[in-house]
Structure formats: C-alpha cells, structure tokens
A and B are shown apart, each in its own frame.
Chain A
Amino acid sequence: MSRIHSSAELDALRQNLLSTRDPAKPCITLCSGSACQATHCREVAAALEQEMEQQGLTDQVHFRKTGCHGFCEKGPILIIYPEGICYLQVKPEDIPEIISHSLLEKKIVERLVYVDPNTGDKVTHEADIPFYKNQQRLVLGANTRIDPKSLEDYLAVGGYRALTKALFEMTPEQVVGEVKAAGLRGRGGGGFPAGLKWEAARNAPGDIKYVIVNCDEGDPGAYMDRSLMEGNPFSVLEGLLIGAYAIGAHEGYIYVRQEYPLAVENVTSAISTAEEFGLLGKDILGSGYDFIIKVHKGAGAFVCGEETALIHSLEGKVGEPKARPPYPAVRGLWDRPTNINNVETWANVPLIINNGAAAFTAIGTEGSKGTKIFSLVGKVNNTGLVEVPMGVTLRDIVYKVGGGIPGDKKFKAVQTGGPAGGCMPESLLDMAVDFDQLTKAGSMMGSGGMIVLDEETCMVDFARYFLGFLADESCGKCVPCREGIKQMLKILTGITKGKGKPGDVELLEELSEVANNAALCALGKGAPNPVLSTIRHFRDEYDAHITHGKCPALSCKELISFYIVPEKCQACMSCRKQCPAEAIDGGKNLVHVILQEKCTKCGSCLDACPARFGAVKKISGEPIPAPLPEEARTVVRKSKSL
C-alpha cells in the first residue's frame, strides 16, 4: 500500500483488499483492549503465536488482535473465523487444545463456550450469546473485526467511504444539514444537538477554526470512549475529518486522558498511518482539503472533560472552566470558533453520512435518535459495554442484556450520568432510556455509565462517594462548588457515621439549590444530583441513618456490628483464624463470640464462615444481643441428617 491520491484510488484499493481477502481463510481474533490486558490477553496472544508457529500454521491462519468486544466480564475472548466460534475467558494453557481441536479438527471445545446461567444452554457463536443478541452494535460492532492498527482492516469493513462521499459528493453545508437532520445529540453528557453546534461553528466569523475530540472520559465506571478509541481509532479520525470539512477547520485536537495509554498509542499510530497514506495532511485524497491532528494527553483532572476546561488545558493552562456565553463554537480554542464533541459522537458521523439521516432517525425515540453505548457495571452478571437503540428499557438492559443481579441479591437501583446523574429505583425499571426520559426521572444520560446497585449498597454512602469524588476534582474557582460540595460532603459523611441530625436533609437540599443554580460549570451544577435523587427515591435510608442510627443496607461501618448467631455457630474456628484484630473469642467446641470493642468491622469473619453454617451476620440499629455465658456456649453438633 502506498499513498492514496484520489477517491478512485481508494475505491480500487478497497476492492483489491476485499478480493484478495479470502473469507474462507481461517482467522483467529483475540480481544486486546486494556481490560483484557488485565486478564492476561498478552500471554494468550504469545501462546497462540507460539502454537501456530509450532504447528506451521502462521501463513495459513490469520491472527488478528482486536480492540474491545464489550463482553468484558468474560474476557479474553477468542473467535475462530469463518465459523464464528466464540471462546470465553481463554487462558494460555487452553491454546494447544483450541488449535488442535477446534481450528484443525473443526470441533468445539465445550468448556470454553458461553453457558446461559438461566437455561444451561451452550452458545457457540458470539452473535447468539444473549449479551450480544439483544444489542444493536452499529458503532462498537466493528471492534470485533478490525486490528486497530490496521488501515487495511478498517478499509475492508467499509471505512473511509463516508469521507469520500462527504469530500467529493457533498458541500460542507450539506454535511452539516445531514448531521442536523439525523438529530445526533452529543454522547458525552450534554446531549446537545451536534448539528446545531456544527452550524454555529460553521457560521462563526473567522478563517481559523478548530475541531476537538473529547476523550477525557472521566465519569467513573464509564469506558465506552476508551474502547472506541483503542479499538477503532480510524472511525474517530474519519468522523473528525468529516466534521472539520463541514465546519471549515484545518486543525484538530484529540484530548485523551493519560490514564488511557493504549488509547493514546492506538490513536497516535492511526494518525501516523493515515498521514502516510494521504488520509490526513495536505490535499487529502486530492480534494484540496488540508487537515492535521495533534494528540494531547490529559494530566489527571476530571474537570477537563468539561469543554471550556479542556480548551484551557489545550492552551497549556489549568483546567478551570470558563463562563459561557460566548460558546466555544464562536470563541473557543485560542479564541477561535471551535467545535468540540465526544468520541462516540464523532464515531457516529461516518454512519450518518454513509447511510443517510433517514436511516439514523429510524432508530431510537422521538427526541433521541440512533444508538447509545452504555457501560453496564457494578452488581450485574454481564459487566461490559452495551450498545442499544435509544428507547430500550432499563429492565431490558439490566436483565436481558446484563443477565440480572449476581448471587440472588435483590436489585436496588441503577445509577446513570456519573457524578452529575441520579439513581433510578425498581419502580422506574420500565423507563425507556433516552436523553429526555432520564432527565425527567431526575437523572441524565451523561456519557453512558450505568451502575447497577443491589440491596447491599447504602444509598447515602453512594451519594457521599460521588461528592467525595467531586470534592477532589473541583477546580476550586467558584464558591458554590468549592465550599458547597465541601459542606454537603461533611453532612453526608456525618450521616454515614451515625452523626446525622434532624434538619440535615433539608440543609442538603438548600445547599443543592445553591450549587445547582450558581456554580460556574456543569461539575458544580451537577454535583447535587446524586444527593437529590437518592433523597427523592431513598429517603427512608436517610431517615434510618439519622433517626435510628441504622444503615438498612448493612454497609456503613460505624453503624453496623458483626454478630455470631450462637445457634448456628459450629465452632469451626475459621473466622477466628481470619480475624486480623484477634477480636473473636472461642474454641474447638465453644461457640464463638465477637469482642465488639476490638472488632474493626473488616468483614473477614463473614467471608470466612462456611456458607452451610452462615453464622455471622451484620446488624444495624438494634442492640447487639449479650454474649451467652460460657457454660451455655458448648456447641451442639447438628446431626448429618438435618
């Protein structure tokens, strides 16, 4: 492959690639995203390469390392094509069997396929796994089929078709019009119509304009952008270039959190490759259009996900947000018209240009078109990235795709919108998830983080967690955020420690009004939302903490005590051995007792007590029963027949 000088050459190249790629040729893919690196996909890859070499298969079988597939609970994921056989949680020691049994003998390695926890059915093909079957992976789907460092792979799946269409068959105004007609709303949190932003930047006076990709994905629990940037960086570059053309920008920036080193590496590599082949730089594909991209890393500040703070960071300043108006579309980076959008927003652009706005609007709801990628995490069986059309219900996401709550625990709430979002309790599970419905429910879409909580999550502590996060991340410029969050955090911490007072909830609501209204930026304005939403839906928990010194979820350390139920204790000494504080008194046939004054509430005893005894329990808000006198503590062994 060499530099591509025209769209005709690009089409020819793509044709060539498709015709020379034999779809019958065996191909093994292995997901190699950051999360899978944590489950040792690199060792699996090494084992695979070694085994293939030993078997003399290196030329006959293509091995492709892909980005994130999204089913992160079950990584590393290995797929054998053309059959599409999918193996989960693959270890290096599984490789020889996979090669000999599955690749060469075309048989299935039964123990590595997906097993439906409800039916016990085995599923061999990725597309049939319920987690994937119930999704519509228009944006994230390509991740499974491409090596993020390979331009050829991206071209082979239809990459850069949208670019040639935009550059050679559409005017910039038509491109803006298409994005407007598609109703694409920002996927980073604001949900603002992207087309309107593009139009404003296009119309703003000035010759020098900028486009920016916001990959400072800071909402804890959200990692959609990481997976897109790692797994399909060319799609972001293509979307960005189309946007640049539409607006009239010749310089773009990609701002990536430095906590995402693989994303930085893959997008930098993609840019370099694109430049080499004339898809970036001067006179792109002979269109006469110039465009260059620079990558900037974040330096550890959540607030830089806010567009004006991000712009300041690009200018080499501290990430303090700026008042708007003027909006970045009019005066942004270096005071020039700037359009900044989230990674997922940019990645949707090639889709819209390729298939047209009408196809895009056919998916989703009245006010929210297209699909959204959510990171479904927390107390859920199938943790991972989920892409569904707007309008799917929370229930379907959590249960159909997510597989429900692990360990037979009871669902409690789903939190969306990150630190500026809110919690949806069971009563709202049938809500159709889209921008407006979430906002109506007292939460927001945010970047797409969806945290599932069960009966063991204390909602007061959960609100406290978010405020603690924001207190650490606040830039400190304005009083309502800097001081307001601090005061709210103090109150919440007090409540979780049993020091809550009547009037605390009302004070939290009062402080919330100040921050909601008067803070300088969305960080401060959104900060009260987790508090307000938990007060709204879980007021009883607040009241229990404040009035009765009780934590209903049995979570807040200062409000719980560990207690060994004498009738259940079989004096096995497991808990006594584990206790780091030597706080358990007992012996071989002597029912164990926790010495409350020594207990550090670490929970090791609860973990250690064998499930068949289940003698350790947590209590809260009630007096701890007095320990039995020693004479009464002789263990009565239960007979085996019981």
Chain B
Amino acid sequence: MENGKGTMDNESIDRIIDKHNREAGSLIQILLDIQSDYHWLPKEALDRVSERLKVPMSKIRHITTFYKSFSLVPRGRHEVHVCMGTACHVRGAQRILDSVQDQIGINPGETDVDLKFSLETVNCLGCCALGPVMVVDGEYHGNIAPSRVEATLKNYE
C-alpha cells in the first residue's frame, strides 16, 4: 500500500476493524493501524469506520484532528521528526529544526510537494543524552549538528 496512492478498499479497513473486535474503545487503535498502513487517513476509510463502529462522523473528525499521530492528508515517504523536548531545546533543537525547514522547504505538520518528506516536531523521544535528536523513518540521528542535516537528509530517496 503506497502512501497517498493506496487503493483503499473496505476489505482492508474491515480487516483492521475486525482485528480489534469492533470495540468502540479500540477506535483510536484502529485509526492508528490505518494511519500506519496508509500513511494517512483517507476519507473513505473514516466513513467505513464510522459506519461499522457506529461512531458519529463529528466525533471521528474531532479525534483525527485532536491527536497528532493522525494525518488527514497524505504524508511523505519519509517522516522526519525533530525532538523539541526540554533537554533537546536546551541543546539547540531550534537550530536543527531551522536547518531541516530550510533544507526541505516545509514547516512542521507539512509534507513537501513531491510527497518525499513530512516534517513533525515531537515532544521528547526519551533520548535526552543524545540531544538534539532527529528521527527519520524510525532511524535515530543523535547529537546532530545543523551543518550535518543536509548530508543526513540527502541519504533518503
């Protein structure tokens, strides 16, 4: 399932819903699974979830905009997370974020035009000894200097 272009069908959404026994309490877990598979939450997927779990669309919309893990627009192939936790902040995380923004040309919460990179800030990954930290696709880049950002990102196709 390529992100953004995935053929979303009711069958795959149903499989996720059924894996969680259609429980109303599992709504967020279901949405997390869909987000993980598709890299975003297509409207059709939300309609299906609303229908099968009998949760009003207004509530689903609130949930998908309230929680930062969800994206209602397709995210890039590579997700870049810059930690802005206190320890990283004190070690200059803002300069890292500035460098990343300059390099990719987008703000936190955005995806670039080629759907290559998405950028998010994170509030503490728990790797404070290595601050500042940038994570790309789950790969941690610790003690990163602003001057190394460009080289690091160039490694990702």
Q: Footprint of B on A, CB under 8 Å?
A: 34-35, 37-39, 72-73, 75, 217-223, 226-227, 258-261, 296-302, 313-319, 334, 375, 377-379, 383-384, 415, 418, 449, 451, 453, 457, 465-466, 469, 472-473, 475, 602-603
A574 CB, min distance to chain B CBs, angstroms: 14
Contact yes or no, B25 A220, CB < 8 A: no
Question: Which residue from chain B places its CB closest to the CB of A451 in the assembled complex?
Answer: B86
B29 touches A296 (CB 8 A): yes
The interface residues of chain A lying within 8 Å CB-to-CB of B69 are 258, 298-300
Complex interface bits, B56-89 against A, C-beta within 8 A gives 1, otherwise 0 = 0001001100111110000000000000111111
**Is B86 a contact of A39 with CB atoms below 8 Å?**
no
Q: Is the CB of A223 within 8 A of B128?
A: yes
Closest CB in chain B relative to A138 CB, distance in Å = 21
On whether A223 and B127 interact (CB within 8 A), knowing A38-B133, A258-B32, the answer reads: yes
- For the complex formed, measure the closest distance between the CB of B4 and the CB atoms of chain A, giving whole angstroms: 20
- Shortest C-beta distance, A343 to chain B (Å), equals 12
Q: Are A377 and B131 in contact (CB under 8 A)?
A: yes
- Chain A, Cβ-Cβ closest to B145: A607
CB under 8 Å from chain A, chain B span 82-113: 84-91, 95
Task: Let me know if B28 is at the binding interface, CB within 8 A.
Answer: yes
Taking a contact as CB atoms under 8 Å apart, the answer to whether A73 and B129 are in contact is yes
Inter-subunit contact B124/A219 (CB<8 Å): yes
Complex-state Cα separation, A296 to B25, whole angstroms: 10
B142→A38 contact, CB < 8 A: yes
B10 at the interface (CB under 8 A from A): no
CA A75 – CA B127 in complex, angstroms? 11
Closest Cβ neighbor of B24 among chain A residues: A316
Check A316–B55 contact: CB distance below 8 A: yes
> Do A38 and B86 touch across chains, with their CB atoms under 8 A apart?
no
Q: In the complex the two chains form, is B70's CB within 8 Å of A299's CB?
A: yes
Asked if A38 contacts B87 (CB within 8 A), the reply is: no
| Contacting residues, chain B, for A379 (C-beta < 8 A) | 90
B87 touches A314 (CB 8 A): no
What sequence of 0s and 1s flags, for each residue 108-137 of chain B, a beta carbon within 8 Å of any chain A beta carbon? 000000000000001111111111010000
Please, how many angstroms separate the alpha-carbon atoms of A259 and B70 in the complex?
13
**Which B residues are within 8 Å of any A CB, using their own CB?**
23-29, 31-32, 55, 59, 62-63, 66-70, 84-91, 95, 122-131, 133, 138, 140-142
Contact between chains at A221 and B130 (CB < 8 Å): no
B142's nearest neighbour on chain A, judged by CB, is A38
Q: Which residues of B contact A302 (CB under 8 A)?
A: 123
Task: For the complex, give the distance between the alpha carbons of A227 and B128 in Å.
Answer: 12
Contact of B24 among A315, A375, A602 (CB under 8 A): A315
Q: List 5 A-B contacts (CB under 8 A).
A: A73-B129, A223-B125, A315-B24, A319-B67, A475-B66
B130 touches A39 (CB 8 A): yes
Output the least CB separation between B25 and chain A (Å): 5
Q: In the complex, what residues of A have CB within 8 A of residue B126's CB? A: 34-35, 217, 222-223, 226-227, 259-260
Q: Are A221 and B128 in contact (CB under 8 A)?
A: yes
Give the chain A neighbours of B84 by CB distance below 8 A: 220, 469
Residue ID in chain A nearest B70 by CB atoms: A299
In the complex, are the beta carbons of B129 and A72 less than 8 A apart?
yes
Minimum distance in angstroms from B21 CB to a CB of chain A: 10
**Could you list 9 further interchain pairs (A-B, Cβ under 8 angstroms) beyond the known A296-B29, A299-B67?**
A34-B140, A35-B142, A72-B130, A300-B69, A316-B23, A378-B128, A383-B129, A418-B86, A457-B90
Instruction: Report B63 CB to chain A, min CB distance, Å.
Output: 6
Residue in B29, B68, B125, B142 whose beta carbon sits within 8 Å of that of A39 in the complex: B142
Known: A39-B142, A377-B87. A301 touches B68 (CB 8 A): yes
In the assembly, what is the distance between CA of A300 and CA of B87, in Å?
Answer: 19
How distant is the Cα of A259 from the Cα of B32 in the complex, in angstroms?
A: 12
CA A172 – CA B29 in complex, angstroms? 33
A217-B126, A300-B68, A469-B123 known; A383 vs B141 contact (CB < 8 Å): no
Contact in complex: B90, A220 (CB < 8 Å): no
Give the chain A neighbours of B62 by CB distance below 8 A. Answer: 318
B91 to chain A, nearest CB (A): 8
Query: Given A218-B123, A449-B86, A457-B90, A38–B67 Cβ distance below 8 Å?
Result: no
A318-B63, A451-B86 given; A296·B128 CB < 8 A? no
The verdict on A38 contacting B68 (CB below 8 Å), with A297-B29, A375-B128, A378-B87 known, is: no
B156 to chain A, nearest CB (A): 17
Specify the chain A residue showing the minimal Cβ separation from B144: A38
Contacts of B89 in A (CB 8 A): 220, 465
The docked-state distance in angstroms from the alpha carbon of A313 to that of B32 is 13
Question: How far apart are A148's CB and chain B's nearest CB, in angstroms?
Answer: 15
Which of B23, B28, B86, B130 makes the CB contact (< 8 A) with A35?
Answer: B130
Per the bound structure, the CA–CA distance linking A469 and B138 in Å amounts to 23
CB-based contact A38/B90 at 8 Å = no
B24: chain A residues at CB < 8 Å are 315-316
Cβ contacts under 8 Å, A222 to chain B: 124, 126
Docked pose: A302 CA to B67 CA in angstroms: 9
Chain B residues contacting A220 (CB-CB under 8 Å) are 84-89, 123-124
CA distance A334 to B24 in the complex (A): 11
CA distance A301 to B64 in the complex (A): 12
| A35-B123 contact in complex given A221-B86, A299-B69, C-beta closer than 8 Å | no
Q: What 8 pairs across the A-B complex have the smallest Cβ distances?
A: A223-B126, A300-B68, A38-B140, A220-B85, A316-B27, A72-B129, A299-B67, A377-B87
Contact A72 B68 (CB under 8 A): no
Considering the complex, give the chain A residue whose CB is closest to the CB of B31. Answer: A299
Question: How near does chain A come to B145, taking the closest CB pair, in angstroms?
Answer: 9
**A221 to B29, alpha carbons, bound, how many Å?**
26
Contact at A259–B138, with CB atoms within 8 Å? no
Pick the residue among B23, B32, B129 that contacts A377 (CB under 8 A).
Answer: B129
Q: Which residues of A contact B70 (CB under 8 A)?
A: 299-300
Least distance between B149 CB and chain A CB atoms (Å): 13
The distance from the CB of B88 to the nearest CB of chain A, in whole angstroms, is 8
